[in-house]
Structure 1
Amino acid sequence: MRTPARRPTIAHHGGTQLIVLGTTHEPHANLNPDSLYAALEIIKPDVILFERDSACLPQLRRPPGLVQALLVALGGPAPENESQAIQKYLRWHPATACQPFEWNRRNVYHRQYGLLTKPDEVFRQLRHLQAAQQLAPWQLRVLTAYDSLSARLNTQAQLPLALLNTTAADSLAARRQYAQYQLIGKIVATHPALAEFRAFYRINKAYWTIRNRAMARNIAAWLARYPRKRLVVLTGFNHRYYLLRELCPRQQALKLTLAEYPALNIL
């Protein structure tokens, strides 16, 4: 097995250090398993925190199987950026710990409330009302603003890792998520044609808060278990702003230094 090329690394001067690294799950031209692996080689974490549950972890220490390779060759979905990058990193650095930080009730909520399908029904009805000119002026402004933010966020998702992890990128993600859960929620709560979705949308809005806060609590628990280590959180970039919002005020209590990739400047 060929030794990976040497890359610059960041010195760790003691204390607990955390890097929250926003990623995209799906590979694209500017962010793929190789570029994410390269970032891990620069960060050199003692612990990788993975946005999955514990059931996914054992396979990360096994080489990719023939069945998986055949499925991809036949046009099936490729494994996500994070799992491929972690798998490669652990092969070269087997002493690195890898732990899950996902909210353990996420899949239960998805199944119970239809969180993967019901939002599409809401937006189909919104588009119908928009096409029929049945939205009030303020409702149309909200939907137009949401569409603009979503388009910008989709463009942002195609950026390289370094540009995906910036204050500007965090701000855009926060504004789009606020528009989705709060402002669109106001349309659902007030438009008669959307009355059937009101209970669902309250659950959907609460889910975003509950899940992110649970993930932040899980991260804090791992920080306590690995004092004076460098930990990296690999998370979908839409979550990054929320996790930083939860963790930044707690740095002193957690005896933690939050740092940024690629320069690892102190926040």
Structure 2
Amino acid sequence: MKNLFLGLLVVVSGFYHAQYSGKTQIYILGTVHEPSTILNPQMLFEILNTIQPDVILQELDSEQMKDFQKESMSKNSNEVSAALLYSKKYPKTLNLPFEFEGRNQYRKDNGMVPTDNLTIKLMDSLYKKNALSPVNTIIYEKYQQANTALKDFAQSDIKTLNSLTFESVNRYRQFVQHHEIPKVSNSEEIFARKFVVKPNGEKISYRDGYQLWCNFWDLRNNTMSLNIIKKANEYKGKKIVILTGVQHKYYLKELLDKYNDGNYTVVEYFK
């Protein structure tokens, strides 16, 4: 009976190994883009060197990746600099983009920029003058409090910024910014009467531009997650590291879990 039990364990263990060993391993590293005491290229390189990825996915689009090795790209970028250091040590490493194509120009062309910042500046001005409705005042105060909570992490370290605690605070802040703040700009008439001119010469109101910007947050994260999944299937069984701004990490994790087809597993580096 003992031998039979041991035999079953071997069979089950072998089945488990066969079922999961071929999966792509995805590590999502939440980063800060510019060198600081929280993270610098050498620190990020050491993390990459520990994980030993076969593929590094950068928060860049295909056009930006063409300039990947230019000094102008790496000068102020933790991710690019660290990836170059890692690729120098491991030349076979693939560095690939996973960003929404033409992100910056897309936002400008559709009037999301600069209406995003202009809307918040106007809202802040109205708040300070007590010119927002009582309901909208409460919403804007929630936004301020959420921002303050994020700022409290500004002097922490990269492990803390990849913690579940930070993810929870960040998730709430992003919800307020993209789903609560539009209630203010959509209900206060002044945001419909202020305009910017898009590159094509058309006018767009602060109200419409900010709403488009908020919608793009969901579109962008969904696009990035689908791009990651494509690469996970293309490089099946490999180890992939995603270098993304910390504010995207929670969203990408949720979407990768939602869309998981069984071909990859998301591994948490920071324990």
**Fold match (TM-score > 0.5):** yes
What does 1:1-267 correspond to in 2, within 5 Å? 14-60=22-68, 62=69, 65=71, 78-196=75-193, 197-251=206-260, 253-263=261-271
Deviates more, 1:224-233 or 1:28-37: 28-37
One-letter code aligned to 1:111: K
What's the CA shift string for 1:191-225, capped at 9, x where partnerless? Answer: 12222322112211111111110111110110110
Deviates more, 1:215-224 or 1:124-133: 124-133
Question: How big is the shift at 1:182?
Answer: 0.9
Q: Is the 8 A contact 1:24 1:157 kept in 2?
A: no
Q: Name the count of aligned residue pairs.
A: 240
Distance 1:33 1:176, change over 3 A: same
What's the CA shift string for 1:139-176, capped at 9, x where partnerless? Answer: 11211111111122233244322111121111111111
Cα distance in 1 for residues equivalent to 2:21 and 2:158: 25
One-letter code aligned to 1:203: L
One-letter code aligned to 1:141: I
Cα distance in 1 for residues equivalent to 2:67 and 2:121: 38
Cα distance in 1 for residues equivalent to 2:41 and 2:102: 27
Distance 1:56 1:191, change over 3 A: closer
Cα distance in 2 for residues equivalent to 1:57 and 1:194: 37
Q: Is the 8 A contact 1:220 1:254 kept in 2?
A: no
Question: How big is the shift at 1:130?
Answer: 1.1
User: Scaled by the length of structure 1, what TM-score is found?
Assistant: 0.83
Over the aligned positions, Cα root-mean-square deviation in angstroms equals: 2.1
Cα distance in 2 for residues equivalent to 1:204 and 1:120: 10
Question: How big is the shift at 1:15?
Answer: 2.5
- Report the identity percentage: 31
Cα distance in 2 for residues equivalent to 1:94 and 1:198: 48
Cα distance in 2 for residues equivalent to 1:254 and 1:126: 45
Q: Is the 8 A contact 1:40 1:89 kept in 2?
A: yes
One-letter code aligned to 2:104: N
Rg larger in structure = 2
One-letter code aligned to 1:33: P
